[in-house]
Structure 1
Amino acid sequence: MDLKFSLCILFAGIGLLRYVYSERHHLLFVYTVLSKPEGVSGPVFSAVCVYDDRSISHYSNEEHSWKRDRLDAEIWRYTREPHESRDWFINLFNSLANCTSSRCEGLHTLQRRVGCEVEKHPDGAVMNVNALDEYGYDGEDFIFFNYDTMQWIEKSPNAKETKMKWDADRIFNHYLQLYLKDCMDWISTYNVSNNTPPVLHMFASAAPHDQSELNLTCLATGFYPKHIEMKITLNNITVQPFSSSGVRPIDNQTFQMRTSVKMHRDEKQGYECHVLHSGQTFTTLWAGSLGSRSHHWAALAAGALAIEVLYIMSLIYKNRRFNGQMKRSSSTTECENITSRSADPLTASDLDENNELLLHKPELLDLLRSATIQTLVFLICLPVVHHKDGLHVPCSTVHCIILRVSEELLAIHQETPLLKTPEHMEAALGSN
């Protein structure tokens, strides 16, 4: 019994190592047809080719051909687009949705994913490789192709007729099998060289319902490709997470993932975050401080908003100086104003660096009050916002506030003509 148990543990450990120390890649062509609203002729067609979640080509409806977004000769040396044309796919959609050439009853969608995927060891040895060609209709699985048996397997009762028709087309199925084999041969030998490692952060926040607990979060961001494994340990023992965001895309075509665990407030040592990505392990140690990241962002927010407030106050000061000079100048004659301009304190030094002098506007006072209120509200709400939405929200909030102030300043500038040159000054003084 002990021997069997030991062998089970051994094989389980080997299987776990094979799963953890592996990397996955895929090459997929994704087709989508969507029926248009009534009165608009023809459905909407789109197709894109993705390698490891990055678009490398797309179908141009205007030119009726594929356009390669990534001109990597190695990728396209043995890969090619599926033989089925846009018209073939649209005809299939019209048949399933009972559409005519001009209209469809209701909203329907047809999707197809065809390609291959591979799982490798870090040294490049292939662990597993699969081919797939599957269809979905109206958001549900419809039918898929079995590569080994060259048979179609229906996933919906409505797919039985399609299965019988496609099973009978042996030439088409043989071609599809050859196409998928080429895909698997290529993806098994192609080596990715543009891996981007993750950047790790660990931070803690107070648990909302238990003052004795903290929520400890590990954030991995900026990594590519998508597949990643993450865990938080305490003294080398894995802690079960209570929350995980899963892998999510970022706008720079990389990914991020966040995992959180509960911990006692007094346990501030021994916590680590371990991430496995593309066969490499990355580790970071929690420093043990609470809310340091929130304080960091609060300081940045306060500094940025303080600059905005000082800028507004400087505008008010300049406008008051200008108004005072205007009043003194209006008590003299036009000739005296012009001849004494060189000796008067109101000279080019009163202009800003861009030779622009803003007229005093009452809206600046309201803007100053608004910016002050926004600063106080933001600093009060910062811990709550940080705890709820994560690391990047405080920075975005600061940008929103600064953008709001800048937009209001721009509106004031556009409403008020600027005195840019001595000629403008002379005209303004003379008008009084």
Structure 2
Amino acid sequence: MTCPCLPDKCKLALAADFIGQLNCTIIKSSDLKQGKMFTLTVTSFLFCYNFSSARHHLLYFYTALTKPDGFSGPVFSAVGVCEDRRISRYSNEEQTWKRDWRSPTESLHTLQRRVGCEVEKCPDGSVIHVNAFDEYGYDGEQFIAFNSATMQWIEKTPKAKETRMKWNNQRVRRQVLQMVLKNCMNWISTFNDSVRGMHSSPVLHMFASVAPRDQSKQILTCLATGFYPKLIEMNITLNNITLQPFSSSEVRPNDDQTFQIRTSVKIHRDEKRGYECRVLQNGSLESRHHYLLEGLIAVAVVFAVAVLLIMLLIYKGINGEFILIKGIKCHISRCVALDLM
């Protein structure tokens, strides 16, 4: 099921603009793409069922370090991440900008910034929710953050009170930040358009291990890996009934820009029939995997090896050789039991 659509592909949403006024606004998809209008969605009458809605985000992380004696490494670095993919990076060993600091320091300090936006959309492109942010941290603690709904800076620590008052009075700073946040959605759309054709189905693996502290139980795990895009749902079923997971990981990135996820259920040690791993991608059943299938393959492999070994023994027996198999001495014409005690 998809989001309800108004005539002319317009979407009705309750939104708050950057000056903090609540408006009931008709948002056209074309206007959003062209950057004619940017609003921060507070509440929406759009509904996407199941997990058909998708979140898209663009983040930039900046880190600046003081450089005490004996410290090696970059003093400034920046990383751009879109849809959990690193799209840009920068580091600079030089520290010419440090000349403007009021006084030198002998200890290591860190200044961090996270700026970007997150957009949640239905499959038809309608916007459900927009979250824009600009946050600063100092020495591992939150320092100050920008509230895009009120266009005001909020102090996260009493130490940031002076900075908050100064920045809230800087009109140019707010205008620049407003422009950056407005363009953020356009940049996400540009990136999504460039990777829209990329799609890879998950590869599934199922395996079991002995449950800790209970030898009568096993942990049955399903691993899905190598899929893109990130949006996916995975369940383990028994006779078509979805089981409550014992543990489940979040979707995690692989080193080849695909993703992986795993989920586990607790089963009885002797139960091996009827379990199935099912994966939904983009709202449809992408693939499934039977746990019993791996067991049958293992049995078939063992059986094939056993048959091959027997054939080899028969071949040697035909050549007149005696072979010892489980306490039985065999020749081509007869076999006699041996006393192995």
Larger Rg: 1
Secondary structure of the residue aligned to 2:271 is: coil
Shift of the alpha carbon at 1:173? 0.6
Which aligned runs of 4 or more in structure 1 are off by greater than 4 angstroms? 14-17, 39-43, 289-298
Shift of the alpha carbon at 1:296? 11
Which letter maps to 2:239? N
In structure 2, which of residues 200, 204, 214 is the aligned counterpart of residue 196 of structure 1? Answer: 200
Say whether the 8 Å CA contact 2:76–2:93 is kept in structure 1.
no
Secondary structure of the residue aligned to 2:201 is: coil
Instruction: Note if 1:46 corresponds to 2:77.
Output: yes
Which letter maps to 1:273? C
Superposed CA deviations along residues 345-371 of structure 1, whole A, max 9, x for unmatched, are: xxxxxxxxxxxxxxxxxxxxxxxxxxx
Please show how residues 29-428 of structure 1 align to structure 2 within 5 Å: 29-38=60-69, 44-59=75-90, 61=92, 87=97, 100=103, 103-187=104-188, 190-191=192-193, 192-193=195-196, 194-288=198-292
Secondary structure of the residue aligned to 2:56 is: strand
Shift of the alpha carbon at 1:223? 2.2
Secondary structure of the residue aligned to 2:213 is: coil
Distance 1:35 1:222 in 2: 40
Aligned match of 2:13: none
Identity value in percent = 62
Which letter maps to 1:142? F
Shift of the alpha carbon at 1:154? 1.8
Instruction: Note if 1:20 corresponds to 2:51.
Output: yes
Say whether the 8 Å CA contact 1:231–1:238 is kept in structure 2.
yes
Say whether the 8 Å CA contact 1:203–1:291 is kept in structure 2.
no
Distance change in 2, residues 1:261/1:297 (3 Å):
farther
Secondary structure of the residue aligned to 1:211 is: coil
Say whether the 8 Å CA contact 2:74–2:93 is kept in structure 1.
no
Distance 1:241 1:113 in 2: 34
Superposed CA deviations along residues 293-340 of structure 1, whole A, max 9, x for unmatched, are: 999999xxxxxxxxxxxxxxxxxxxxxxxxxxxxxxxxxxxxxxxxxx
Secondary structure of the residue aligned to 2:123 is: coil
Unaligned runs of 5+ residues in structure 2 are: 1-44, 303-341
Q: What TM-score comes out, normalization by structure 2 length?
A: 0.63
Secondary structure of the residue aligned to 1:181 is: helix
Superposed CA deviations along residues 359-404 of structure 1, whole A, max 9, x for unmatched, are: xxxxxxxxxxxxxxxxxxxxxxxxxxxxxxxxxxxxxxxxxxxxxx
Which letter maps to 1:219? L
Distance 2:300 2:111 in 1: 49
Distance 1:149 1:164 in 2: 15
Greater share of residues in helix: 1
Q: What TM-score comes out, normalization by structure 1 length?
A: 0.51
Distance 1:296 1:268 in 2: 16
Give the root-mean-square deviation of aligned CA atoms.
3.6
Secondary structure of the residue aligned to 2:278 is: strand
In the comparison of the two structures, how many residue pairs are matched?
Answer: 255
Distance 1:266 1:278 in 2: 35
Distance 1:294 1:157 in 2: 64
Distance 1:261 1:41 in 2: 47
Greater share of residues in strand: 2
Unaligned runs of 5+ residues in structure 1 are: 1-13, 65-85, 299-432
Distance change in 2, residues 1:222/1:116 (3 Å):
same
Distance 1:108 1:152 in 2: 23
Superposed CA deviations along residues 102-124 of structure 1, whole A, max 9, x for unmatched, are: x4343322221212222222333
Distance change in 2, residues 1:296/1:260 (3 Å):
farther
Which letter maps to 1:195? H
Distance 1:167 1:236 in 2: 58
